């Protein structure tokens, strides 16, 4: 009887969460302002509350509106608290993407992966919450978690969790007869524990770091994608669900100039411009509810095509 009641309450929570997410809309834009660095004197950014922000420049003040803004004192925990509900929708079988977008040095990597301890970023916190949920719901549903981690650099995909440093092959993307997009050969690692999950994330980061001659430069020019795939089976009805979350640390959004760039720099600039402008076009199409969404214009948007539309 108790289990029945518990099941009823869990089902109600699930429905309310889905309704809440629908009400909030399928796309949300949050803005985080990082603390000033020592050599930076005085901020031109002012938070006005209720998602409003103004930026002062020589021409005056420009106003911007977001769903939520976070000031320089905001913590990793606060940011995660707002994104936590998205993970519940993944557990319920929906696909979600979380991006960090901004110029180099604005704090994308800090927000997505972060440092150690209380500085740990969104990826680690999502994983922790996932295993907490797995434990909490264990009587009702069995949840399995799989991790993949890859980067897109110069319009090429490299698996960060397969083979040793420098051994990664370029992976191709294909579309099956149902229209689903697959990264062929991308490794999916089943993880039974938080420790194993953290170990894999750290392995992926170190593979990424070792492959690069200058990590900062490399990270500003490539997109990092962490995919958490969650499949569930209801222990009573046998009903199955599967959902996934992409956490994406995008390449720096500063205007990459094509003029004057040559060789490697030119190739990088073309790749970044193409994928960020394709992502922009997709977001615009989704928000104006177009019938045709231009996913095919870059590797990044193709890979994410089943996790962007809400």
Ligand X SMILES: Nc1ncnc2c1ncn2[C@@H]1O[C@H](COP(=O)(O)OP(=O)(O)OP(=O)(O)O)[C@@H](O)[C@H]1O
Q: How far is CA 44 from CA 41, 69, 75, 97, in A?
A: 10, 15, 21, 30
End-to-end CA gap in the chain = 36
CB of 269 within 8 A of CB of 261? yes
Residue 75 vs 277, nearer CB to ligand X: 75
> Burial, 222: exposed, middle or buried (Cβ in 10 Å; 0-12, 13-18, 19+)?
buried
Does 219 engage in binding with ligand X (CB under 6 A)? Answer: yes
List 104, 154, 233, 297, residue binding ligand X (CB under 6 A): 104
Query: Shortest approach of ligand X to residue 61 CB, angstroms?
Result: 23
Whether 310 has a binding-site annotation, put simply, is no
List 106, 241, 273, 285, residue binding ligand X (CB under 6 A): 106
Does 220 engage in binding with ligand X (CB under 6 A)? Answer: yes
User: Residue 149's beta-bridge partner residues?
Assistant: 226
Residues 249-288 that bind ligand X (CB under 6 A): 252
Q: How far is CA 136 from CA 90, 118, 122, 143, in A?
A: 16, 24, 21, 11
Does 294 engage in binding with ligand X (CB under 6 A)? Answer: no
Query: Shortest approach of ligand X to residue 133 CB, angstroms?
Result: 26
Query: Shortest approach of ligand X to residue 30 CB, angstroms?
Result: 13
The single residue listed with the structure tokens 């177009």 is: 290
Binding mask 13-52 vs ligand X (x if CB under 6 A, - otherwise)? Answer: ---------------------xx-----------------
DSSP H helices, 59-193, are 76-91, 108-112, 122-136
Does 102 engage in binding with ligand X (CB under 6 A)? Answer: yes
Stretch that binds ligand X, among 102-110, 140-148, 204-212, 275-283 (CB under 6 A): 102-110
Query: Shortest approach of ligand X to residue 178 CB, angstroms?
Result: 35
DSSP H helices, 155-231, are 194-211, 215-221
Q: Which two tokens stand for residue 89?
A: 């929708």
Whether 108 has a binding-site annotation, put simply, is yes
Annotated binding site: 102-109
Which residues contact ligand X (rule: CB under 6 A)?
34-35, 102, 104-110, 216, 219-220, 252
């Amino acid at each position: 009887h108790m289990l029945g009641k518990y099941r009823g309450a869990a089902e109600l929570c699930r429905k309310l969460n889905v309704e809440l997410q629908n009400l909030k809309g399928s796309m949300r834009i949050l803005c985080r302002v990082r603390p000033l660095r020592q050599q930076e004197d005085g901020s031109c950014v002012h938070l006005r509350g209720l998602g409003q922000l103004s930026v002062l420049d020589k021409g005056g003040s420009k106003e911007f509106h977001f769903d939520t803004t976070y000031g320089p004192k905001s913590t990793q925990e606060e940011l995660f608290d707002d994104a936590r509900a998205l993970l519940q929708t993944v557990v319920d079988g929906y696909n979600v993407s979380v991006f960090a977008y901004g110029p180099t040095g604005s704090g994308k990597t800090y927000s997505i992966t972060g440092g150690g301890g209380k500085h740990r970023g969104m990826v680690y916190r999502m994983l922790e919450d996932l295993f907490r949920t797995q434990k909490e719901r264990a009587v009702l549903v069995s949840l399995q978690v799989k991790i993949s981690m890859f980067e897109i650099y110069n319009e090429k995909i490299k698996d960060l969790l397969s083979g040793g440093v420098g051994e990664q092959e370029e992976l191709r993307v294909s579309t099956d007869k149902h229209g689903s997009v697959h990264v062929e050969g991308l490794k999916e690692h089943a993880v039974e524990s938080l420790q194993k999950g953290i170990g894999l994330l750290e392995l992926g980061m170190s593979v990424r770091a070792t492959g690069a001659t200058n990590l900062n430069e490399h990270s500003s020019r490539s997109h990092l994608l962490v995919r958490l795939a969650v499949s569930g089976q209801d222990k009573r009805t046998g009903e199955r669900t599967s959902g996934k979350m992409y956490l994406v640390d995008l390449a720096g959004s500063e205007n990459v100039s094509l003029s004057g760039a040559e060789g490697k720099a030119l190739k990088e600039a073309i790749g970044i411009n193409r994928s960020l402008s394709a992502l922009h076009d997709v977001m615009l199409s989704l928000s104006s509810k177009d019938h045709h969404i231009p996913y095919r214009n870059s590797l990044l948007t193709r890979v994410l095509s089943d996790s962007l539309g809400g």
